[in-house]
Structure 1
């Protein structure tokens, strides 16, 4: 089993998703930025999904979080025809930093 741990910032307020005949969940996007050798900032975005709906009101844009969970990787082509990989995380643990 794979597990991914990330420390990053929320890019927007979280969203509560309620689906008929299923448990509600919260979705949010987490940004993790690093600088490369040239000093340029590179940001990786992670789409996150959590069943911890009670935290939804606290998951607001700009908050720093530690999350861990199971990653899913998907390949896609961006608008400039460049091959990219998106990362989604089914979150098991959330901690506020």
Structure 2
């Protein structure tokens, strides 16, 4: 019987700084950014609730146009896997670094937070078109002709 394992990470958080894109010597792009996730925990001694923040290092390969959309403070959804690398520092001491290798990235938030508030990128070969282009999305079905009239109020007027 074959042994199976799972390495899957799903995060929703805010960007700690603008994403940076660099290129390997062979011309492959690599975008890096940090993602903050928060949780509320109750302090056992005082009984008060407090917020705790975890920081995650994320890398996205072959997505050179991605960094222009990933700016500090934006909320995003990241799906990927954990990867640990080892390297030696200046003094020859072996160090380890664990990061999330992103396979899916979705911009979250309202219309004011991005080009369309819902663009996504995928690194899955079966789903990806040309490198670093957003995946095509299907248009929503046409609304029935008998929609109620809301006095000129549109989706753009809703604050969320």
TM-score band by shorter chain is 0.7 to 0.9
- Does 2:37 align with 1:37? no
TM-score of the superposition, structure 2-length normalised?
Answer: 0.50
Q: Alpha-carbon deviations, 1:17-42, whole Å to 9, x = none?
A: 11212411100000001110131111
Which residue number corresponds to residue 70 of structure 1? 81
Unaligned stretches of 5+ in structure 1? 75-85
TM-score of the superposition, structure 1-length normalised?
Answer: 0.81
**What secondary structure sits across from 2:65 in the alignment?**
helix
Unaligned stretches of 5+ in structure 2? 1-5, 44-48, 86-96, 109-160
**What secondary structure sits across from 2:80 in the alignment?**
strand
Does structure 2 retain, via aligned residues, the 8 Å contact 1:49–1:91? yes
Query: 1:72 offset after TM fit, Å?
Result: 3.0
What stretches of structure 1 move > 4 A for 4+ residues in a row? none
Structure with the greater relative contact order (CA < 8 A, sep ≥ 6): 1 or 2? 1
Structure with the higher strand share, 1 or 2: 1
The structure with the larger Rg is: 2
The CA RMSD measured in Å over matched residues stands at 1.9
**What secondary structure sits across from 2:37 in the alignment?**
strand
- Does 2:77 align with 1:60? no
